[in-house]
Structure 1
Amino acid sequence: MDKKAASQLKATIWIGKNGVTEQTYEEIRRQIKDRGMVKIKWLRSVEVDPTGIAAACGVELVQTRGRTMVLARRR
């Protein structure tokens, strides 16, 4: 997936004060299946491991910038 397409996406998943939950993983998997790529943002107060989330969902980490990451289907 190219980074230009990733930067033009709008965030469709926000990780709040509860952090990453099983429902978050399920929603990521569902959106990846439907759209192929998903942009995720999170709060400053939440510790998030983008690489760990990508591995847990079985997807590719395309880009991380600040508190935003883009995940896509594996090639």
Structure 2
Amino acid sequence: MLTKLDKIKADLNKARTKRDEWEQRVKDLEKKYKETENTMIHDMVHAANITPEQLAELIQKANTTVPFKITEDIENDD
């Protein structure tokens, strides 16, 4: 009976170790993703040769929603 508990305990410890390794891997990949994303954004802004003020204006315009109204009816071909 004790050997059964020992085996379960060993399996549990092994699973916890693997979990910790995967959690660290996830954190590392999230960090790498964010760094790469930031580098790509920086490179695009640099390639566009825009000033920080121009970038702020572009971001503001992109975040502004413009209401629109559909003025034409779409005809259905039946």
Task: Give the TM-score band, short-chain normalised.
Answer: under 0.3
Higher helix share: 2
TM-score, normalising length from structure 1?
Answer: 0.20
Greater C-alpha Rg: 2
Higher strand share: 1
